[in-house]
Amino acid sequence: MLYTNVIHRVDARADSRAAMAFQWREARRLALPTTTLLTYPALFMDEAIADVDQLRGDTDELGLHFHNFQSPRFLERFGTRESAFWLLPREVRRAFLDEMMTAFERRFGHLPKSIGGYIIDAWTLAHIKETYPSVEVAITSCFEEGVKMFYGNNRNWFLFSDGGPWNPYFPAKANALIPAADAEEAIDIVAVPHLNRDMIMALNSRDDLFASHPGNLFRARINEGAACPYLFRFIDAWERQAALNGWSYLNIFVSSPWMSPAHWAIGNIDDARALYRRMLEDLKEREERGANSNTTMVEFGAAFRARVKPGDATVCHWKDEIKQAKREVVWVANSHHRAAFDMNRGGALVDFRPYAGRLDGNLGPECPALWNGNYPFLISTEHCGGHWNTAQFASVSDGSHTFSTTDRRTRATVEKTENGAWIFRTEPLRFNLGAHSLVLQSAWEVSAQTGISIRRTVLEYSGDPTALRLTETFFGRPGTHEYPGDLRGITLWADPNTRLPFGYSSKEATVDSPRAVGADVGSLGVSVSMEAVTPALRGVLGDGWLFKPCFRLDLTHAPEPGKDVVTCLTTRPLKNP
Amino acid sequence: MPDNPPSQKPLICPACFAREIDPVFLHFDPEDGGEFYCTHCSYTARDRGAVEAFLSDHIRHRHGIG
Ligand SMILES: [Zn+2]
């Protein structure tokens, strides 16, 4: 089942209020429930409250939103020009929340169950749950807007929460971007994303432009007048995700300024509103044919709690909905990691965030991270300049010629297994090795567990198979953005008994028949390893150098045609980091 | 560029070029009539002419023409 959730935001400015009245009337006309979240200035403005009283229907839910609060009242009361809720000093955040909650209760007779912010960190979420236990569901993150939107927005948008899940989840007390492993670790609030994103653009471009938001699609100029077929393909794509996970959620949060003629990104307001109206009609039509359920945030939260428990994993199989070309990516998130595999590069692991270290992600002037809420990666092909710097992939050699799995584009099939895992496979791909040809297929099994099982199978080879060598490679570099940090302190190891401290020496250590090769990365509190489930011939540990600041782990096998070579990519908490 | 058609020079991705990212070469996938694709951004094109037209347009802008 796809749960669709139309969300409005009540702002104070007259043009925004008029825009919100349009949004709300359209939803009412179609009897679509909404979640309508009030901002701080609107909450203290009688005209805005009068709008709410006049426009709301029985199926509309009211809650609070923590953006767009800066106003003469706020500045006078709290004495700060800070304009992002997640960056406010904690004392101000607490007092601001108290004032909003009290005012909401006074206005509407009860405390809210649904709240939203662009980022809500773990400290704030836990504080809210403790102080206002009525809160059941919260918008907590703008999935993967971080680094790329910062550049796209001319270095003015300090919103960094890269590295978390795209789907709803139970956030961990240690870091709100990490899905909790169990109920004890969870803050008892269902976290939902601020908008759904194009899951290919989330890897390599502006996923705020390609999102469940007609106004942002106008900003991306992917409309032609009021027409925007991409939007409906995008909704179809989220409907398809329900087949993989048993459920899917679509957060459609168009804040009112986007439906105002005054918005800088909107060329023709009639077209923008016509697309918004058409989108709501589409949601209604889907419901009439049983494809989705139009819900409020709190209704979705209840449905989610009935279906999903802390520790469950989620996957996404995303195809190119912009150009409808062949590109596909597969994402997985669980309490151990978030991983993205790019079928444009033969299924290479191109973004990998291991959560074992449970790093502190709290933000604000008291916190070491200040504004940088990005959960660190060990692999980010986008931020580190290509798969030759950070990625996990395989290569095959006959002794004289070599190819890499990244050389070929492929499609993926994704299947759910009986034990609640997922297996995804590339197509069988034909590669040339000199005069000979070889057909290779890759497959991955992902689940709620830490291990990602990687299988490579040589299906055909026209040459002498005893000459073949298949090498699994992991290139890693910890970071949260493009500039590399200090990699000293990382220890590369092979099991048993080989250690190579990272020191920018470019040295290599070769090990016969290792059970595993790995790296202990103290800054992430994580030990990552490739375990040779199929016994390996050789392992290589590669120190980097300053002009190529990354480490390399290799496991080399002699593959036999028709037999799987299996490697398990695993992360564990690092003891004594 | 193992999967570019042999004997032709690899094409520069015009979208990456427009963002002033150093030459990123397009790959070629022969399936379904053939398609050029970029592994850095999401650019794709069906034929060589479309890539070259996009690229030359940007180069003309760079020279202040057009
Ligand atoms: Zn490109």
pLDDT given for residue A107 in this prediction: 97
Residue contact B37–A201, C-beta within 8 A: no
A204, A387, A406 member nearest B42 (Cβ): A204
Q: Is residue B1 included in any domain, yes or no? A: no
Q: Give distance in angstroms: CA of A28 to centre of ligand 1.
A: 44
Residue contact B39–A403, C-beta within 8 A: no
A206 Cα to chain B: minimum distance (Å): 11
Q: Is residue B45 included in any domain, yes or no? A: yes
Angle subtended by helix axes A14-29 and A46-55, to nearest 10? 10
pLDDT given for residue B20 in this prediction: 84
- Cis, bond preceding A496 (omega within 30 deg of 0): yes
pLDDT given for residue A57 in this prediction: 92
Residue contact B44–A323, C-beta within 8 A: yes
Burial level of A553, CB count in 10 A (0-12/13-18/19+)? buried
Q: Is residue B51 included in any domain, yes or no? A: yes
Tens digits of residue pLDDT in A326-339? 999 999 999 999 99
- Does the pLDDT at position B31 exceed 60? yes
Cβ atoms of A121 and A361 within 8 Å: the answer is: yes
- The maximal CA–CA distance of chain A, rounded, in angstroms, is 82
Range of the domain at B21: 14-62
pLDDT given for residue A576 in this prediction: 67
Residue contact B39–A201, C-beta within 8 A: no
Q: Which of B26, B29, B37, B39 best tests the A interface by mutation, with the highest count of A CBs <10 A? A: B39
pLDDT given for residue A386 in this prediction: 87
Q: Is residue B3 included in any domain, yes or no? A: no
Instruction: Say whether residue A410 is in contact with chain B using an 8 A CB cutoff.
Output: no
Instruction: Say whether residue A86 is in contact with chain B using an 8 A CB cutoff.
Output: no
Q: Is residue B37 included in any domain, yes or no? A: yes
Q: Is residue B4 included in any domain, yes or no? A: no
* A433: closest chain B residue by CA: B2
Domains of chain A with bracketed CATH: 2-319 (3.20.20.510), 328-357+373-573 (2.70.98.10)
Residues in chain B with CB shorter than 8 Å from the CB of A197 are none
List the structure tokens of B66: 């057009």
Q: Is residue B5 included in any domain, yes or no? A: no
Tens digits of residue pLDDT in A129-141? 999 999 999 999 9
B31, B32, B39 member nearest A344 (Cβ): B39
CB atoms within 10 A of CB A60: 19
Instruction: Say whether residue A319 is in contact with chain B using an 8 A CB cutoff.
Output: no
pLDDT given for residue A45 in this prediction: 97
pLDDT in tens, chain A (577 residues): 999 999 999 999 999 999 999 999 999 999 999 999 999 999 999 999 999 999 999 999 999 999 999 999 999 999 999 999 999 999 999 999 999 999 999 999 999 999 999 999 999 999 999 999 999 999 999 999 999 999 988 899 999 999 999 999 999 999 999 999 999 999 999 999 999 999 999 998 899 999 999 999 999 999 999 999 999 999 999 999 999 999 999 999 999 999 999 999 998 999 999 999 999 999 999 999 999 999 999 999 999 999 999 999 999 999 999 999 899 999 999 999 999 999 999 999 999 999 999 999 999 999 999 999 999 999 999 999 888 999 999 999 999 999 999 999 999 999 999 999 999 999 999 999 999 999 999 999 999 999 999 999 999 999 999 999 999 999 999 999 999 999 999 999 999 889 999 999 999 999 999 999 999 999 999 999 999 999 999 999 999 999 999 999 999 999 999 999 999 999 999 986 5
A326, A327, A407 member nearest B3 (Cβ): A407
Cβ atoms of A100 and A41 within 8 Å: the answer is: no
Q: Is residue B58 included in any domain, yes or no? A: yes
Structural domain count, chain B: 1
Cβ atoms of A202 and A234 within 8 Å: the answer is: no
Among A445, A433, A450, which residue's Cα sits nearest to residue A559? A433
Q: Give distance in angstroms: CA of A7 to centre of ligand 1.
A: 35
Residue contact A326–B37, C-beta within 8 A: yes
Q: Give distance in angstroms: CA of B22 to centre of ligand 1.
A: 10
Q: How far apart are CA B60 and CA B66, in angstroms?
A: 6
Q: How far apart are CA A528 and CA A540, in angstroms?
A: 15
Distances (CA, A) of A122 to A46, A71, A322: 33, 26, 34
What contacts A269, CB < 8 A, 6 or more positions away? A259, A260, A261
Report the pLDDT averaged over residues B12-18.
91
Instruction: Say whether residue A327 is in contact with chain B using an 8 A CB cutoff.
Output: yes
ipTM of the complex in this document: 0.83
Instruction: Quote the pTM value.
Output: 0.96
A345 Cα to chain B: minimum distance (Å): 7
